[in-house]
Amino acid sequence: QERFTDHDPMQHIDSPKKQQKLPDTLSLSEVERLIETPDTKEVLGIRDRAILEVMYATGLRVSELIGLQLKDLHLSMGLLQTTGKGDKERIVPLGDLAIQWIETYLEEARPLLTRKHPEESHLFVNNHGKQLSRQGIWKNLKALVRKAGITKNVTPHTLRHSFATHLLENGADLRTVQELLGHADISTTQIYTHITKKRMTEVYKQHFPRA
């Protein structure tokens, strides 16, 4: 500003970063317990099981989950399409169990829920056959977490973080997880860096002959 120099001495200095704390994540056994909690003899239980399977298998944001439409499903290819932040579209792979429960929901539960609203295009609907709300997802999840006997503070975002954490712990790289989560910038995904460092150390010890 004072025109003493044309060179900015702060150009290569990083500004201080606020420490980022990872939210609670669920262990694999807790995820499995939660997913198996809905009573799948009931219509809403089948829907809730499908919702939990999709949330954990894709790491979708809750807004992306409730925005899913029937046309976004490409089950024969094991994919779904979603629109994330900034209207950015991405393709997300689906696991076999998630596909199986979506198909069960589409065949056995959704037609009963939407019988008064057959024109409804959203994938997941409430007991009136209309699009599920964010509040509906939160309320159902809280009830299922209690029923599963999990004492952690679990939100829809907890399943998203668990999805990312479990992928990285099993060898996925940060860039792939960035794509799957729909983060525009890798810096957002870097809250998980400590997991990749831990994994890198484990791989080194396992594979380097003189480790």
Q: Which of 61, 122, 161, 166 is catalytic?
A: 61
DSSP letter assigned to residue 191? G
Q: Which of 90, 130, 157, 199 is catalytic?
A: 157
Catalytic (active site) residue 183: yes
Give the angle subtended at the CA of 148 by the CAs of 137 and 94, to the nearest 5°. Answer: 55
Give the angle subtended at the CA of 81 by the CAs of 76 and 82, to the nearest 5°. Answer: 155
Q: Which of 85, 139, 194, 197 is catalytic?
A: 85
Count the Cβ atoms, other than its own, within 10 Å of residue 67.
17
Cα–Cα distance for residue pair 118/130, rounded to 1 Å = 10
Six token digits for residue 110: 């959704």
Catalytic (active site) residue 157: yes
Catalytic (active site) residue 56: no
Cα–Cα distance for residue pair 174/169, rounded to 1 Å = 11
Catalytic (active site) residue 85: yes
C-beta of residue 115 within 8 angstroms of C-beta of residue 133:
no
Q: Which of 56, 110, 166, 192 is catalytic?
A: 192
Alpha-carbon radius of gyration of the chain: 21
Q: Which of 47, 160, 161, 166 is catalytic?
A: 160
Catalytic residues: 61, 85, 157, 160, 183, 192
